[in-house]
Structure 1
Amino acid sequence: MLGRLKRRAEFVQASKAGRRAARDSLVLQALARPDGETRLGFTATKKIGNAVARNRAKRRLRAAARLALAAAPPPGWNLVLIARDATGRCPFPSLLADLEGALRKAGVPRPRDEA
């Protein structure tokens, strides 16, 4: 099971020291961890829209992360997924493809990369 980032300091640390990969529908910030635990954080700023739009964007990011990472999470990463304007309205397969591409660009190892 994947852990969650909850404290602001964890988000800020991933922002300052982590790798960044931007796509049309999301931004990924990835910071390697020495302990082998992988934790996820999700955020949507007020630029996305009202609370309904922000919550929808975060729900879609959580669903995409669940599909992309739950089966074989990469060991030892803090991953922050940031919603963009297109997150709430782009087709879900496109969102999944953007997440996979961002993970590759940030250097987060994936099971098919290791094989």
Structure 2
Amino acid sequence: MTPPEAPARSAGDRPPAVSLCLDIIRKRADFLRAARARRQGAESMMVQARFRDDDSDAVRVGFTCSKKVGNAVARNRAKRRLREAARLVLPHAGRPGWDYVLIGRRGATAERPFEALKADLAHALRKLHRDA
């Protein structure tokens, strides 16, 4: 059975994976650099963004949820939803050479309708890049 927030797929489609179109931030130092840069809150998440000074044009993204979000099951569900939203929104709204960190919020990230979650991310990215 497919979860209600999962997008419709045909039988031949490959499962989604952020790594197919985006680079993943895994090092703590990169998360800390993003934390010192721009941030924009949305109803369902906090988005931190920074322009990298290296020559890479890749869009990189990281995901995090603190224990305030809930137990491991709740945190993993919130991160799965953030990953899927990033996979769908960042290739269009993200900018080359930028790092983005998406931070889940208690209750809101896991419970918000998926279309609203995507709209929150797109809105936060527009506001972050408006001043850049």
Q: Normalising by structure 2, report the TM-score.
A: 0.77
- Secondary structure of the residue aligned to 1:70 is helix
Closer, same or farther: CA 89–62 of 1 in aligned 2, 3 Å: same
Q: Which amino acid aligns with 1:31?
A: R
Deviates more, 1:61-70 or 1:40-49: 61-70
- In the alignment, does 2:81 pair up with 1:60? yes
Runs of 4+ in 1 over 4 A off after TM superposition: none
How far is 1:37 from its partner?
2.1
- Equivalent in the alignment of 2:44: 25
Residues 63-113 of structure 1, C-alpha deviations (whole Å, 9 max, x = no match): 0001112357521101000000200001001101100011011117xxxxx
- Secondary structure of the residue aligned to 2:26 is coil
Number of residues of Structure 1 aligned to a counterpart in Structure 2: 108
Coordinate RMSD, CA, aligned: 1.7
Unaligned runs of 5+ in 2: 1-20
Unaligned runs of 5+ in 1: 109-115
Bigger radius of gyration? 2
More helix by share: 1
